[in-house]
Amino acid sequence: MRTCPSSIRRVALTRGGALGCALMFTLASHPVRASEPAVGSPQIRLVLQITVDGLRGDLLNRYGSRFGENGFRYLLSKGTVYTNAHHEHANTETIVGHATLATGAHPSGHGMIGNVWYDREAGELAYNIEDPESPLLPTRREALEGEQVDPAQKRSRTKGRSPRAMLAATVGDTLAAFTAGRARVFGVGGKDRSAVSMAGHVGKAFWFSTDTGDFVTSRYYYDTYPGWVVGWNARRQAEGHSGQAWALLNDQGTYLLGGQDDRPYEVDLKGYGRTFPHPFGDAGNPLFPTKVLVSPVGDRLTADFAKALVRAEGVGQDAVPDYLSISFSGLDAVNHFFGPSSLENEDVVLQLDGTLADLLGFVDETVGLDHTLLVLSADHGMAEMPEYMTELGFEVGRLSPDGIVETANAAAREAFGINGVVRFFYRPYLYLDEGKIAAARRERGEVEQAVARALAETEGVALAVPRSGPGPLEDTAALQRVRRNFHPSRSGDIYVAQEPYWFLFDKGPVAVMHGSPWRYDTHVPVVFVGPGVAARRVHRPVSTVDVAPTLAAILGMSPPSSAEGSPLSEVLWQD
Ligand SMILES: [Zn+2]
């Protein structure tokens, strides 16, 4: 990778060779002012939004000394780095965080309040980007057969995907409108929801299929696959790892967490094991693509697909800026099985560092990093495992969703004689049965309040917030995050949040979750790198809703439709 673009080297000569490259970079390019549209200027040809699923805000610090020169270290040393950036919504899940980064809105505005919510009219769980009108485009014969079950969501209704349920415009949507449709907008992700949310309504999305190991899209975007996608999938790169294993990048003794490999509370995903090396098994096994995704290989495939997209679509090749989002999903999957303080966590981050370095080198060759405005962030952080915290002396446990339902039902039965008042519970939202409340001639608000009071007294439950509102003296920071998560038809009647480090999720092969309103889940990196962006660290608190308005301001356009954040002044101005 070129460390300094050629135009900057020329300036460096006149300024004296002793200056660091970052400073030269700064001197060479005029700061991009909010009043100066970059459109039509040759400066920014590509907005590259990189989102690392589950990259808690402290992980880059923990592993900082272990990175190579051209990956995370390049971004951290050349960019404006926000050390105290947080999602300010309560349900810190993948679709919620991605949609917030893309739109600059809180979930109350973009409508993506959770990975799933209960559809009261249909009487079943809805997956955030599910859309029966937009079936997946099959990539091979066997994928044509009927509907399939998504084990992560326990859903089988449809595999169709589109952004139609997103209620706000993204940066990409806004850029397309601003440039009269000339900006190209793409989202690539290890997960469907990370690709679809970032591509917005206007862009094209592609994501890794845990059914086939191919990158897929839906009929919302295309009638048939572009030729380059057919070509990429024909190489069957995931299957090339059949019979192989995820092995450590370096000698185990060199890792900070070298002693944290085999812990009894890690999850063994059907033969994947708790210790290195983790075998992927045979490519014919239905879990093979999932195991590939729970490793550094899934991230490498994601980057490779994105590179193929840039080449084939000519992204970033003219004066009209294009938008490309790349979401890496390996870390989150690894966190869920092994926890964020595991050897697996350290290794997947170190291997992602290499993947990132390779990607940045490619972008420099094809677009030029001096023409690229890059922003790095994460959709959420991660909790530590309850058993790990308890070992350290912080005693916490696991809550049972069934127990939450029983407590709620008992409270309504005792107070109002209503049996089975809970219509549905999928954390964080509890949905009450309006019909039963009406039949008992009770007000919904009074039932909500009584049930919430009982839930709040449960060990391990920190908050139970009724739709009808808590008392006026309870306006805490966590409660404000619950409010920002509220959508009138999608949110449930009571928001249930566990106490810090308590686990509240369905049973299943998951050792640990994110999704709480606590700071380990809200804290994420926010790093901007690009022409005119100074190298500095900023410690004031900022919100992830500021990211999209900052990109919009640099591009000289209005913020996305529902953005609530503000442009980050340190990115826009030199001093
Ligand atoms: Zn996750």
Residue range 279-316, pLDDT digits in tens: 999 999 999 999 999 999 999 999 999 999 999 999 99
**Pairing mode, strands 278-279 and 215-216:** unpaired
pLDDT at residue 364 is higher than 90:
yes
Distance 197 CA to ligand 1 centre (A): 15
pLDDT at residue 268 is higher than 80:
yes
Give the per-residue pLDDT at 472. 73
**pLDDT digit string (tens) for 441-456?**
999 999 999 999 999 9
Distance 122 CA to ligand 1 centre (A): 26
> Whose CA is closest to 354, among 54, 59, 66?
66
pLDDT tier, 146 (very low <50, low <70, confident <90, very high otherwise): very low
Q: Which tokens in the block code for residue 443?
A: 């007000």
**pLDDT digit string (tens) for 207-248?**
999 999 999 999 999 999 999 999 999 999 999 999 999 999
Residue ranges near ligand 1 (ion) with Cβ within 5 Å = 332
**pLDDT digit string (tens) for 395-427?**
999 999 999 999 999 999 999 999 999 999 999
For residue 491, which amino acid is it? S
pTM to 2 decimals? 0.91
Give the per-residue pLDDT at 158. 59
Distance 563 CA to ligand 1 centre (A): 25
pLDDT at residue 7 is higher than 50:
no
Distance 336 CA to ligand 1 centre (A): 6
Residue corresponding to tokens 């949609």 = 99
* Other beta carbons within 10 Å of 401: 16
Q: Which tokens in the block code for residue 342?
A: 């595991």
Residue corresponding to tokens 């093979």 = 288
Percent of the chain with pLDDT over 70: 89
What are the C-alpha distances in Å from 42 to residues 9, 38, 185, 333? 18, 8, 18, 39
Give the per-residue pLDDT at 28. 31
Distance 186 CA to ligand 1 centre (A): 22
Q: Mean of the per-residue pLDDT values for the chain?
A: 90
